[in-house]
Structure 1
């Protein structure tokens, strides 16, 4: 499973890179703040919404601490998606939130 540090994600975003970030936290958790541009697909809905994802794109998975995003990264990898787990989740995020 590929991982990326929260700081690396922040540096890429600050440099103007467009990233496909999926936040798998619950709606109430995301309401407290998410990475700008991240799409919220709660963990329990990923299996039912993965048809919305493009296997040709790379996705960075995010949750609160890294546990859920790690599980969903492995799950999506098994279906042939190009996914990266953001290590440490939002607890490690020091960048802007919306």
Structure 2
């Protein structure tokens, strides 16, 4: 599985790179804190796969990286996606590295 670090994500955002960010946490988690990605909870990732780009890099994130890894695995193995990256450490890593005041749990 391909991964991106939070530093790589930050660099992509700052450089204006064309990519999609998907947050697979539940809506209540997303409302607490997010990185401005699209919220598609893990439970619906296959059903809502038409919302996920196939023509550019897609970074999938969650709280710690476990659910996003599961989402990447499902999309790659069941639907053949090849442009997906798991955000290593999830939003916890982002908060620790760049935004210590971010509300996390």
* Cα distance in structure 2, aligned partners of 1:54 and 1:69: 16
TM-score normalised by the chain length of structure 1 = 0.88
Of Structure 1 and Structure 2, which has the larger fraction of its residues in strand?
1
Q: Secondary structure at the match of 1:71?
A: helix
Structure 1 equivalent of residue 63 of structure 2: 64
Runs of 4+ off more than 6 Å: none
The CA deviation string for residues 36-71 of structure 1, in whole angstroms up to 9 with x for no partner, is 3x1000010111101232322321000000000011
Q: Against the structure 1 CA distance between its residues 16 and 52, is the aligned structure 2 distance closer, same or farther, given a 3 Å change threshold?
A: closer
TM-score normalised by the chain length of structure 2 = 0.82
- Does structure 2 retain, via aligned residues, the 8 Å contact 1:4–1:84? yes
Question: Where does the alignment leave 5 or more consecutive residues of structure 2 unmatched?
Answer: none
Pick the structure with greater CA Rg: 2
Superposed CA RMSD: 1.5
Q: Against the structure 1 CA distance between its residues 60 and 25, is the aligned structure 2 distance closer, same or farther, given a 3 Å change threshold?
A: same
Structure 2 equivalent of residue 10 of structure 1: 10
Structure 1 equivalent of residue 52 of structure 2: 53
Tell me, yes or no, if structure 1 residue 91 matches structure 2 residue 92. Answer: yes
